[in-house]
Amino acid sequence: MRFDEWDPVYRAILADFGFPRTDDERARDVLAELAVPFDREKLDRITGNTVAIAGAAPSLADELDTARGAECVVAASTAADVLLDAGIDVDCMVTDLDKNPETARELSESRIPVAAHAHGDNIPAIREYVPTFDAENVLATTQAEPHGPVENFGGFTDGDRAAFLADEFGAAELVFLGWDFDDATVNPMKRKKLDWAERLLYWLERRRDERFSILDGRRTEIDFDTDLFESGT
């Protein structure tokens, strides 16, 4: 995804949450100082294959067969731990470093790419954890304008960024496990993030001309501003 396509949506997200753009840019620049350019061939396994996008909802443990049946697995945050504990290989982990940085470090040392994300309030985590990873296996990402080795493929939460990453690297099909848009246990901030994740995945399936099963029965209720999402195209 080109940044000019993403930027209008990004600005709407910032406005909805009240997040300062400068904070994201500052975090991006800190990550840029620690990162090296990513060798995209490390994610060649995604290209042309069915990719499982694993979220970290409680339902994940009951949906592992979806990952087992996929040719490639991209895991969001703590979903990586559940998959690895079940003996399922992870081909990429997507994280903003807020829960299980030790898993990210271990995967990077095992030559598994880790998409480490910079946003406005995780600068301390970036400085603490990213230097402990194997830099050659870190794919640095931002939700702001890309700069240096830090890239932006679209997406906002770990889960939907995993899907946008798989799209960027040429996935033939995306399948989903461990997702729950209606989780009643989350706080208001997380609820708003889930709403945006749903909108973003709906946008992505439209861009891919694909139908994601996790959106079945939900599409007509999604608060989707077509003019906003297509303003950059």
SS3 letters across 121-142: CCHHHHHHHHHHCCHHHEEEEE
DSSP annotation of 45: G
Characterize 155-173 residue by residue with b for buried, 16 or more Cβ atoms within 10 angstroms of its Cβ, and e for exposed: bbbbbbbbbbbbbbbebee
For 233, what's the count of Cα atoms within 13 Å in the CB-facing half-sphere?
9
> Are the C-beta atoms of residues 164 and 152 closer than 8 Å to each other?
no
Contacts of residue 152, defined as CB under 8 A and 6 or more positions apart, other chains included, come to: 1, 3, 6, 141, 142, 143, 144, 145, 146
| Dist CA 157 CA 153 (whole Å) | 12
Share of the chain residues as helix, strand and coil, in percent rounded to the nearest 5 = 50, 15, 35
**Residue 233 or residue 110, greater confidence:** 110
Q: By mean pLDDT, which of 30-34, 42-46, 49-53, 185-189 is the weakest?
A: 185-189
User: What pLDDT does residue 158 have?
Assistant: 98
Mean pLDDT of 191-218: 97
Q: What is the pLDDT of residues 131-182, one digit of tens each?
A: 999 999 999 999 999 999 999 999 999 999 999 999 999 999 999 999 999 9
Contacts of residue 214, defined as CB under 8 A and 6 or more positions apart, other chains included, come to: 176, 179, 181, 201
Instruction: Enter the pTM of the model.
Output: 0.97
Q: What is the pLDDT of residues 64-73, one digit of tens each?
A: 999 999 999 9
Residue 226 burial (C-beta neighbours within 10 Å; 0-12, 13-18, 19+)? exposed
User: What pLDDT does residue 103 have?
Assistant: 98
Q: What percent of the chain has pLDDT over 90?
A: 97
User: What pLDDT does residue 233 have?
Assistant: 64
Mean pLDDT of 82-109: 98
**Averaged pLDDT score across all residues of the chain:** 97
Mean pLDDT of 116-134: 98
Q: What is the DSSP string of 68-101?
A: HTSSEEEEETTHHHHHHHTT---SEEEE-SSS-H
Mean pLDDT of 203-222: 97
With 90 as the cut, is the pLDDT of residue 7 above it? yes
| 3-class state of residue 63 by DSSP | coil
With 90 as the cut, is the pLDDT of residue 231 above it? no
The domain ranges of the chain are: 3-229
